[in-house]
């Protein structure tokens, strides 16, 4: 994730506007928009600029989690506690039908978002000449649809990660071009494999929760809570499915048929005739 943030922030660092309006598509609980706001606030002194980051999410529960968290026996507003309440805000809405006028934003990013939607309205709401940074999980050119092992890994990952049909990096690039973007930069991998922190074969405190012992304990706890009817039916099966998906994803990335760090930088042309 550090590589993803670095790329997005480097893009925004080149957008020297006095009042920068940034859109974070499918923002989750707002981790990305706060990181972007912190970065822009540090540079505001040099750039004499201000930045407003809007997080778009269709999940009301995630927005509520993004706004509030429990600390020291009280709920705190995350953006406020980070000193970013004036820069960051959440909007509930569908990113296939965005509640914004045309040409609203100076920059946009979508991290692990566009894979969930066949048609995203980023091009429409982005101002001409401005940038869109996309990052997410894709199949690489080494994926062989005639290889049974490859097909099986793909199916398990899609099931465990609740994904639709995962597309290839080439299809992603083509979709960007068909939407009207100029593709300026690409990156399919990173110097440090993303899965090092969760690979049980490379022991660390962060990877312990993915070890065989931790997985056994988590399944046992989920099964017990399910038996006592504290957790809903199917919780134990869900935990096992998620563990299997993470393991299959690591195997797929080792074999270089999947990448979760496929980065594309696009630019909306100044004129439609430039497409």
User: What pLDDT, in 10s, does the model give residues 12-31?
Assistant: 555 555 567 889 988 888 87
CA atoms within 13 A on the CB side of 147: 10
Residue 101 pLDDT exceeds 90: yes
Every domain of the chain and the residues it spans: 1-144+161-193+257-268
Return the pLDDT at 181. Answer: 93
Q: What is residue 72's three-state secondary structure?
A: coil
Residue 233 has pLDDT above 70, yes or no: yes
The C-alpha atoms of residue 7 and residue 4 are separated, in whole angstroms, by 5
Binned at pLDDT 50, 70 and 90, residue 182 comes out as very high
pTM for this model (two decimals): 0.77
CA distance 91 to 18: 23
Percent of the chain with pLDDT over 70: 73
Strand, helix or coil at 79?
helix
Residue 268 has pLDDT above 90, yes or no: yes
For residue 38, the model assigns a pLDDT of 75
Percent of the chain with pLDDT over 90: 18
- Tens digit of pLDDT for each residue in 204-226? 555 566 667 777 788 888 889 88
pLDDT (0 to 100) of residue 66: 75
* 63-87 tens-digit pLDDT: 887 776 545 444 556 665 666 667 7
Distance CA 137, CA 135 (A): 7
C-alpha distances (whole Å) from 220 to each of 113, 135, 217, 240 are 32, 35, 5, 10
pLDDT recorded at residue 73: 45
Cβ contacts of 214 within 8 Å, gap of 6 or more: 208
Alpha-carbon distances, residue 53 vs 67, 176, 226 (angstroms): 14, 23, 40
Which residues are CB-contacts of 89 (< 8 A; sequence separation ≥ 6)?
Answer: 52, 53, 54, 55, 79
Lowest mean pLDDT across 14-18, 179-183, 247-251? 14-18
Reply yes or no on domain 1-144+161-193+257-268 having CATH 3.40.50.150: yes
> What pLDDT does 142 receive?
92
More confident residue, 180 or 73: 180
CA nearest neighbour of 60 among 94, 31, 85, 88 = 94
Given a cut of 50, whether residue 2 has pLDDT beyond it is no
Looking at residue 88, what is its pLDDT? 81
Rounded to whole angstroms, the Cα distance separating 236 from 231 reads 9
> H helices within the chain, ranges in order?
2-13, 31-47, 60-67, 78-81, 122-125, 148-160, 169-179, 212-227, 235-254
Query: Can you list the pairs that 78-86 forms with residues at least 24 positions away whose Cβ atoms lie under 8 Å?
Result: 78/29, 78/30, 78/34, 79/30, 79/34, 82/34, 82/37, 82/38, 84/34, 84/37, 84/38, 84/41
Please report which confidence band the pLDDT of residue 45 belongs to, taking 50, 70 and 90 as the band edges: very low
Worst-scoring range by mean pLDDT, 2-11, 172-181, 262-271?
2-11
Q: At what angle do helices 235-254 and 212-227 cross, to 10 degrees?
A: 160
| Alpha-carbon Rg for the chain in angstroms | 20
Q: What is the pLDDT of residue 250?
A: 86
pLDDT confidence of residue 151? 93
Residue 146's pLDDT band (cuts 50, 70, 90): very high
């Amino acid at each position: 994730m550090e590589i993803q943030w670095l790329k997005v922030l480097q893009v925004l660092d080149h957008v020297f506007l006095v009042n920068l309006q940034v859109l974070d598509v499918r923002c989750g609980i707002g981790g990305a928009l706060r990181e972007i706001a912190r970065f822009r606030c540090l540079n505001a002194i040099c750039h004499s600029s201000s930045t407003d980051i809007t997080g778009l999410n269709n999940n009301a529960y995630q927005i509520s989690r993004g706004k509030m968290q429990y600390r020291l026996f009280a709920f705190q507003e995350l953006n406020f506690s980070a000193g970013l309440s004036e820069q960051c805000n959440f909007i509930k809405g569908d990113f296939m039908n965005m509640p914004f006028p045309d040409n609203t934003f100076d920059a946009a990013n979508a991290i692990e978002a566009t894979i969930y939607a066949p048609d995203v309205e980023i091009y429409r709401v982005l101002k001409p000449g401005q940038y869109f940074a996309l990052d997410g999980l894709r199949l690489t050119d080494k994926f062989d649809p005639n290889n049974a092992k490859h097909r099986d890994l793909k199916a398990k990952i899609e099931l465990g990660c609740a994904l639709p049909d995962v597309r290839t990096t080439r299809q992603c690039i083509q979709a960007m071009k068909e939407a009207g973007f100029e593709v300026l930069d690409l990156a399919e991998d990173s110097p440090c494999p993303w899965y090092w922190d969760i690979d049980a074969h490379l022991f660390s405190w962060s990877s312990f929760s993915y070890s065989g012992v931790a997985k056994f304990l988590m399944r046992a706890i989920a099964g017990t809570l399910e038996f006592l009817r504290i957790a809903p039916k199917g919780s134990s099966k869900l935990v096992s499915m998620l563990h299997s998906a993470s393991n299959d994803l690591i195997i797929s990335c080792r074999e270089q048929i999947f990448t979760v760090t496929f980065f594309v930088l696009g630019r909306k042309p100044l004129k439609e005739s430039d497409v």
